[in-house]
Structure 1
């Protein structure tokens, strides 16, 4: 037993050092994000709804997404479809050669930034009956209570009542995000186009029974949530 411990201790020490080395350094990350700024803004607040805000999303979530996008990119071939990771064609080639430490530093940098509110709009959405209903009212109801009739769970259970998320659990901040981006991601999860929500399929199971009206309404509500 003593011999086993003797041999294990150096290995465990190496493992601890390796994990410490992978801790994100926001100062180092600041030197590595120039390639990101064109789309996501210098502080992670995208000026265009075509690209998400990534400021303050949560370091664990950001790092997981960066790794998934890199995994897909590395497996992508012009004539083949990747089977792992997260497909973000706009980022093809950008992270392929970045190390785990690079990604950790970038995630740490953006997590320290403050997300700006994209904002919500006063508008109506058409539900299944053909009626036009208040988008913010419907969005708030779905975000906070889900839809028991159709089996849609509430959003705030994971993403918090104020949309701030749960960083230790890896659930991202949603409040203030571009509504168009939120709606696109919910539809991608609903269709199975996006699958990097883990073996539990948490987001796919959440979005599968959401109507277009519910998606648009909850996305609009989230845009102004803080």
Structure 2
């Protein structure tokens, strides 16, 4: 009997962990306004400096939406877009975009070796940790920790964000301190290489 109860509790716990608080179907109804920049389903942004939103991780997406709405993360293009949305609306949007499939791009063949070495092993000489430690060797992120998936993200967007972290321009959010520290140790060439690598990672 104890095993049965333990099994039920474990099963319910895993189910709760597997599903976030958002409703993807409800989120789809509010996602139309996002398509103008991020593309249908958040998979093909109209400009490479805009992020792909598909499959990034529900917790990460929700946290970013909250930060953008509150102004903790300033994105001029999104000013006012989330003002009328409730917290549940934001959760639903995050669930919707996370349920969409990431479209993986093609890394620059000339940068793959350097990018892969950085992503998987970091740079011991300069103190850069391996990206895979938080974002998963396959680039799928870490949902419970709120670390986003990177595999398939546009290289241009990753470059823009790493440089923003390095300059202290993206300082909001729970994990900003970690990323600011990492980015402060990256050269422009390393940023370009690792960004290109993750754009083709799946």
Give me the TM-score of the superposition, normalised by structure 2.
Answer: 0.87
Deviations 1:78-109 (A, max 9, x none): xxxxxxx1111111111122110110110011
Q: In the alignment, which of 66, 80, 84 is matched to residue 93 of structure 1?
A: 80
Secondary structure of 2:30's counterpart equals: coil
The CA deviation at 1:168 is 1.4
Whether the 8 Å contact between 2:27 and 2:96 is mirrored in structure 1 is yes
Structure 2 CA distance for partners of 1:197 and 1:150, relative to 1, 3 Å = farther
**SS state at 1:169 partner:** coil
Aligned partner of 2:96 in structure 1 is: 109
Q: For residues 168-204 of structure 1, what are the alpha-carbon distances to aligned partners after superposition, in whole Å with 9 as ceiling and x for unaligned?
A: 1111100010000001100000110001242771111
Q: Which runs of 5+ in 2 are unaligned?
A: 1-19
Q: How many angstroms apart in 1 are the aligned matches of 2:51 and 2:190?
A: 20
Partner of 1:26: 24
Asked if the contact 2:170/2:176 (under 8 Å) is kept, the reply is: no
The answer to whether the 8 Å contact 2:38/2:53 transfers is: yes
Structure 1 residue aligned with 2:177: 201
Report the structure number with the largest CA radius of gyration: 1
Deviation per CA, 1:40-81, whole angstroms, max 9, x where unpaired?
A: 112111243021100000000000000000011xxxxxxxxx
**C-alpha contact 1:120 1:222 (8 A) present in aligned 2:** yes
CA distance in 1 between partners of 2:147 and 2:174 (Å): 12
C-alpha distance in 1, partners of 2:162/2:185? Answer: 11
Aligned to 2:70: 71
> Aligned residue for 2:3?
none
How many aligned residue pairs are there? 182
Given that 2:68 and 2:74 are in contact with CA atoms closer than 8 Å, whether structure 1 keeps it comes out as: yes
CA RMSD of aligned residues (A): 1.4
Q: Which residue of 1 aligns with 2:126?
A: 150
Q: Structure 1 residue 220 and structure 2 residue 196: aligned?
A: yes
Mind listing any 5+ residue stretches in structure 1 that lack a counterpart? 1-21, 73-84, 124-134
Which residue is equivalent to 1:42?
40
